[in-house]
Each structure stands twice: as structure tokens, then as C-alpha cells.
């Protein structure tokens, strides 16, 4: 069996297919969010969470959640969902019990949930991924 594709482009395509499958109620708002896949989070991202280990951060929503946006907000750019390839691959290898595409989709959904204004606790209450 050949090794799965683990390229940045492949992960971005999985993320885009995931977003394309969102329910209609979320689809339009999701299309306004940029998706970026990078090998690692940068130091500023880690610092914003008080993290020192870049392998701990698999994804990040960078923007103002829809529940907090105001007409007075002056955006400096689009909201962005970041996926970090190397941390996702590390988690996938450590788990050993999940398809890589499923893990990428999970991280994508989790970060878009933040765009829609859901907290980590809200997400955990409906997505019991770790079980």
C-alpha cells in the first residue's frame, strides 16, 4: 500500500473539500474565510497562546468570530483558518487509529467552529473526537 500524500497542497485540498461540505447555513460565511496550510506555526502564534512546543498547535483561527463582529470593525485582512502540517502529521502518527484525511477534516471543522463563535467547550460538547 503506498504512503498517503502528506503535502501542503493535499492538506489544503482536504480542508477545502471539508468546507465545501458544510451545511448550507454555514457555507456562505465559511467561503469568506481564507485557508492557509503551513508546515509549522510561527513564534508569534505560539506566544499568543503561551505555547513553547510548536507540535502542540495543529490549527488556528485568526480573525474575529462572527458572534463578535461589528459594523465598526475595520478588518485588516480576511479571517484565516491555519492548518499546521507537521503537528497534524505528528498527531496522526501518534494516534495510529485514524485516517489522515479525517484528522485534517477534524482540525478544519474545529477551527471554522471558532469562526462561527463556538468556544472550545462548545465544540467539545458536540465533537467528542478524542473518545
CATH architecture for segment(s) 8-124: 2-Layer Sandwich (3.30)
Could you report the per-residue pLDDT of 64-81, keeping only the tens digit for each? 888 877 767 666 778 999
Mean pLDDT calculated for residue range 103-114:
91
* From 13-17, 94-98, 117-121, the region with the lowest mean pLDDT: 117-121
What pLDDT is attached to residue 5? 85
The least confident of 7-11, 65-69, 98-102 is 65-69
Mean pLDDT of 102-124: 85
Cα distances from 108 to residues 10, 35, 72, 90, 131, in angstroms, run 13, 9, 28, 16, 18
Every domain of the chain and the residues it spans: 8-124
User: What's the rounded mean pLDDT across residues 42-66?
Assistant: 93
Percentage of residues in the chain with pLDDT exceeding 90? Answer: 56
pLDDT for 118 equals 79
**What whole-number percentage of the chain has pLDDT above 70?**
87
CA distance 45 to 56: 12
Statement: residue 105 has pLDDT above 80: yes
- The distance from CA 111 to its chain's CA centroid, rounded to whole angstroms, is 4
- How, if at all, do strands 80-84 and 34-38 pair? parallel
Amino acid at each position: 500500500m503506498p504512503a498517503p500524500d502528506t503535502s501542503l497542497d493535499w492538506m489544503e485540498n482536504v480542508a477545502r473539500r471539508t468546507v465545501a461540505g458544510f451545511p448550507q447555513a454555514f457555507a456562505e460565511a465559511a467561503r469568506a474565510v481564507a485557508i492557509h496550510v503551513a508546515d509549522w506555526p510561527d513564534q508569534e502564534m505560539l506566544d499568543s497562546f503561551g505555547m513553547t512546543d510548536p507540535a502542540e498547535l495543529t490549527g488556528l483561527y485568526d480573525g474575529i468570530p462572527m458572534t463578535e463582529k461589528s459594523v465598526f470593525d475595520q478588518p485588516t485582512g480576511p479571517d484565516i483558518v491555519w492548518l499546521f502540517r507537521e503537528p497534524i502529521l505528528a498527531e496522526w502518527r501518534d494516534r495510529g487509529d485514524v485516517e489522515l484525511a479525517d484528522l485534517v477534516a477534524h482540525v478544519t471543522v474545529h477551527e471554522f467552529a471558532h469562526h462561527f463563535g463556538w468556544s472550545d467547550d462548545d465544540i467539545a460538547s458536540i465533537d467528542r473526537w478524542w473518545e
